[in-house]
Amino acid sequence: MSQPSGTWYDTLTSTPVLIATAVGVSFAAIFAASSSKTPQQVKEQVKEVKNGVVNAADAKGKAAQAGASIMSAPAADLAPPKDDPIPSSELSQYDGSDPSKPIYVAIKGRVFDVTNKPEMYGKGKGYNIFAGRDASKGLGMSSLDIKDAVPDYSSLNESQMNTLNQWESFFEKRYNVVGKVVP
Ligand code: HEM
């Protein structure tokens, strides 16, 4: 799989690694969720990122290289987007805690069906914070903090808005829109 360089995709795929470097979070857990890699490849990549990152430019280069093969590919078979109203009280049921129910993530009020990614959004998984709610603000801030997992993103600055828009575009290419959040 190859992606054009210098696009939002580069920025997106390199952002988590830069964040990780900054906050010192463990890479292993999240990389392990990336199913397209063998454990050895994952280990090597984790090692490379952990040891090799000395400055931001270097990190960005490595991340762009690694990123293009780490992020899941866009979906080829998306259904036409739906506009069904989904009350937020109902949305919260689709947070991955009941394996018999779908998992939904809302961005800017649009509800995406991420049921096929339980390893990321399921109960106890790294991105479960985004499941069953609209956490647009947190996405824009690259924050996994529960206090940022709210729909009101009006406080985001320009660069955070770009990040949010990139995530929105990422989801649009990968997940079916099943409705819109209503109060
Ligand atoms: C320790 C730092 C981080 C690392 C190493 C990391 C790594 C990754 C990787 C490898 C993927 C691709 C997984 C796949 O497509 O199978 C991914 C996806 C993602 N990351 Fe991170 N990430 C980090 C931090 C963050 C933070 C702080 C956020 C908060 C916004 C975030 C949000 C996401 C989201 C929403 C996805 C998309 C999952 C999907 O639907 O495929 N990540 N991350």
DSSP string, 24-81: T--SHHHHHT-TTS-HHHHHHHHHHHHHH--SHHHHHHHHHHHHHHHSPPPPS-PPPP
Pocket probe mutation, ligand 1, options 127, 137, 160, 172, max atoms within 8 Å of Cβ: 127
pTM value surpassing 0.75: no
For residue 54, report the distance from its CA to the centre of ligand 1, in Å.
Answer: 21
In this structure, the dihedral spanned by the alpha carbons of residues 182, 167, 98 and 124, taken in order and rounded to 10 degrees, is: -130
CATH architecture type of domain 85-182: Roll (3.10)
Provide the residue ranges of all domains of the chain, joining segments of one domain with +: 8-70, 85-182
Work out the mean pLDDT of the chain and round it to a whole number.
Answer: 77
82 in helix, strand or coil? coil
- Rg, Å, the chain Cα set: 16
Ligand 1 nearest-atom number relative to CA 67: 10
For residue 16, report the distance from its CA to the centre of ligand 1, in Å.
Answer: 6
85-87 and 104-107 beta bridge pairing: unpaired
- C-alpha 98/C-alpha 106 separation (Å) is 18
Q: Which residues in the chain show pLDDT less than 50?
A: 1-11, 14-39, 41-64, 67-69
Pocket probe mutation, ligand 1, options 72, 120, 156, max atoms within 8 Å of Cβ: 120
Instruction: Output the pLDDT for position 40.
Output: 52
For residue 103, report the distance from its CA to the centre of ligand 1, in Å.
Answer: 17
- Strands of 110-113's sheet in order across: 85-87, 176-182, 110-113, 104-107
Half-sphere exposure of 18 (CA within 13 A, CB side): 15
Instruction: Output the pLDDT for position 106.
Output: 98
Pocket probe mutation, ligand 1, options 15, 23, 71, 139, max atoms within 8 Å of Cβ: 71
- C-alpha 39/C-alpha 45 separation (Å) is 10
